[in-house]
Amino acid sequence: MTFPHGAPELPFLCACFTEMVHRYGLPVFGTAGAIDAKVVGAEAGAQVMYQCLMSAFSGADFVHDVGLMDHAQMISPELIVLTDEIIGMVSVSMEGIGTNDEALALDLIHKVGPGGNYLEEDHTFEHFREFWVPTIMDRTQLSTDTSSQPVIHCEELLNQRTKQIMKSAPGHPLPEDIEREIRKLETSWFSEFGVKYEYPTAERR
């Protein structure tokens, strides 16, 4: 049976389920990045964005399944990076607009007025960098001479970013005692289903 992870009905179902479970004071999960698409492209981006928004707006306590593709049959490093970018965009909406005295700066507005220059004010200098910056989306504007400025597709930037992370990110091995406990749990799960699994040795990893 095909389980449509990327269908809009699934995040909507999770949102409804979240409302019900929260009524009883219990935690519940949502999804963000579990899609039907087989390649990372427009279909994948649309499904991930919808899932992330629905999970965030519904208030799911634990959001998982980042990077799963083709009905959760494979996982994609590129999709993980893309989902991380989309989560950053969604986070901007969830944070909202600051309404404290520092953010509103009403005194400054009265001081400078509609015809003044806010670029000269310290408040502008202190806050003008407070915006989200993409890592795999090109915000540059094309010049009139497009031959001297090739268009870089998002998929290409995504591929480059993913390779950079995988190449430069240091490993973070788990402490031996924690790894032993995890293996005990896994062994019990395998045994329950009659599966024999041999853990790789250090030489075979």
The reported pLDDT for the residue numbered 200 is 64
Whole-number pLDDT of residue 204: 43
Residue 205 has pLDDT above 50, yes or no: no
pTM: 0.75
Buried b (16+ CB within 10 A) or exposed e, 128-153: eeeeeeeebeeeeeeeeeeeeeeeee
What does the domain layout of the chain look like in residue ranges?
Answer: 9-96
Instruction: Convert the pLDDT of each residue in 151-195 to its tens digit.
Output: 888 999 999 999 999 988 777 778 889 988 988 888 888 888 887
- Mean pLDDT calculated for residue range 29-49: 92
Task: Give the contacts of 179 (CB within 8 A, at least 6 positions apart).
Answer: 173
pLDDT of residue 201: 59
Whether residue 134 is predicted with pLDDT greater than 70 in this model: the reply is yes
Strand partners, 118: none
Cα 137 from chain centre: 14
Instruction: Please give the C-alpha separations between residue 62 and each of 32, 80, 192, in angstroms, as whole numbers.
Output: 10, 17, 27
Q: What is the average pLDDT score of the chain?
A: 87
Place of tokens 């909202």: 96
